Amino acid sequence: MSAGNPLQNTFKQLIGEDVEPSRHIETGDLESLSTTKVMVDQNYIDLQNFVDDTLYIQGSDGHSNQATPTYTCDPVDAEVYLLNVKAGIHNFIAALYSFHECIENRLNQYIPNSHQVASDDLTGNGQPVEYAQRAGFLIGLRTDAQHYGFSCLQAEPTTTGSQITYRITFDESAFRESIDGYDRFLHRNSNHRNDILKFIGSFHQTAYNTFWEDTKDWLNVTQDDIESAISLPDWQRGDS
């Protein structure tokens, strides 16, 4: 359920509160959807492995992110390390994009025609749904990565002894110069998206995980159903 309204299903925010599946999801479609979810989670873990501490620390309000994710390396390795971090960010966003494509390609057949989900709905350009607006910003970064090599991401250094600690920030002016129709990706307050790694941590651990659980609830599938459809890694088995 959404952080803003714990009684509201975030998947139903996209399609309509009273819309129900036309039939039970087939095993092959559940397998595809679950596979893309695992890909998102695995790429989040891979990105987590680059940072010094963690991507997300839950705030006292239950959903804000108190983490300050940075990465530290020797100056001689800085260029290569930054490329690897950017690759990790790109892989996470690419997996999210695939997850959205799966919703469009696999789940729409279970949704009445007048309520089916389009790409605009999943990037915050349909209904003003918080999950989609936050996801839309990341999809915008994917567009920048594909065409301009993440020109909008900057590594801000802090020197500590013989090593350098970096924070990845978002250069909104560079993004606006590069991306046509940039406003369709910039729904969230600029303060929320300035620190990219922190944004990803908060998005995955709150909005995305909630959206996944709400999608499962809407489909009326359980973790046992998913484990029957796909061979899950050990760290995902038994989750509700």
Q: Which residues constitute the domain of residue 141?
A: 26-236
Q: What is the DSSP string of 106-137?
A: IIGGGS-GGG---HHHHTTSSS--HHHHHHHH
Residue 91 · residue 43 · CB < 8 Å = yes
Domains in the chain: how many in total? 1
Residue 181, pLDDT score? 64
61 within domain boundaries = yes
The percent of residues in the chain predicted with pLDDT above 90, rounded, is: 61
Tell me the whole-structure pTM to 2 decimals.
0.90
For the cut 50, the answer to whether the pLDDT of residue 28 exceeds it is yes
The Cα–Cα gap between 97 and 117 comes to 14
Neighbours of 210 (CB within 10 A): 20
73 within domain boundaries = yes
83 within domain boundaries = yes
pLDDT digits (tens, 9 = 90+) for 67-106: 999 999 999 999 999 999 999 999 999 999 999 999 999 9
Count how many Cα atoms sit within 13 Å of the Cα of residue 73 in the half-sphere of its side chain: 20
Neighbours of 58 (CB within 10 A): 14
133 within domain boundaries = yes
pLDDT digits (tens, 9 = 90+) for 29-67: 999 999 999 999 999 999 999 999 999 999 998 878 999
